[in-house]
Structure 1
């Protein structure tokens, strides 16, 4: 079994994205137990054939015209169904650079604090018109990048922001919901997100983080919850468990070692958090992913 963090080489580093059309011919493919993940979110548009995508939560059978969204660092794997040719476009995007001052108030909505972006796939399943429009945006983005006409960078940036706008406006279940304004605090919020990501293996002291933010301990606690919609501790724990999920299937280490590697030394607390976020134990999670824990 080969499970890995997939590097995404950007066609234009300034755009922080990659888009490519793939064609697979021949017999139906098996998964081969190849799970992978990447920090970029991923849109998949099937143009011909049947593409089956599996995540820890669901199996999707995508036919011609179907679209799917995979969140940042979300484990997934795919395979070709039937002997017919499979043609599809994959669009990878690092979202962070696209949150300029005009979009910053929605930055928190796409950080996957409460819901993985995968949960938004209901939009494409319930709204055929939106699915068609998203498919066109993905195709147009591909054509712009491949054509490299003058100003294509501007066109691609506009297309990506249009994708985000479509998700925001057609999320009828309010999975993307803004409770507070963060546009005036862009630098602070970004620095805190980066700090947490870079220190997950360590003890993260809220006193130190509040000093980084230039606030008192008590004010920072209220500030973070107001801006992010979750307490700082809950946010850090969610990030720790998300990383633990990936490590469980990517590395042959014990659960104790993985808990320590994501900064949780108390095993009872680790199991409690893991079950809270996943609804199952680490062993049950591995079984769901068809990964041996031996």
Structure 2
């Protein structure tokens, strides 16, 4: 399995802008189901609140039962089928996003359906989407986006990566690059050195990398350096100079970038984190003593 699969997904969704066009709840019976494929110019989330049936997508027949969550990208033909005795209550939303999702999702081989155990959590998010779209208040767009990100988070939390799937060539290349970055954060990493790992021209590599991660290669490297630095600053044996060296940066440049990234200087971040950890540790100890007494 590709070790950086979830990393790629998370970087993509962090950068993605989402616009929800519609959301509703629909009850389907055999008489109300079309006998032809539907194709939409927007992405769709479908959630089975109650009942059962099946959906035909790209020649595959997928059982639909309570808790099934399906994501369908724009332009993908699909149709829902019900047996004469079946009924289906669907919660759904239509949305658009800022990336060319189809190519990315094909590269990542994202499953287009999952089965959820916590039905109430997902159902409540669809209700919230519908309510905020109808309310159209001052803060509705923010609340709609928050609900969509929660829904996507649930999808990712329950995503099962199939071990025996053969990763695409593009995904293997990105995985090699991300591993190289993590193993060489203390070195001078250039676009040229990254492009050489996958035998691509630097100019093409920049477009290739950003198309999947949503960041330029150097932006991603700097973010990984800051994320790594935050962890290192929590270690008592790593002072600021040592941390800067471990992430391959001169201390003055590291301090400036770290403050831009977190809003705190490295030394202040270190002190505040240490204070928080000590406070949390004292609280845990007090709880243990109360429990023992």
TM superposition score category, shorter chain reference: 0.3 to 0.5
Tell me which structure has the larger Cα radius of gyration: 2
TM-score where L is the length of structure 1: 0.45
Q: Hey, which of these two has a bigger chunk of helix by percent?
A: 2
TM-score, length basis structure 2: 0.45
Work out which structure has the larger RCO, using CA pairs closer than 8 Å and 6 or more positions apart in sequence: 2
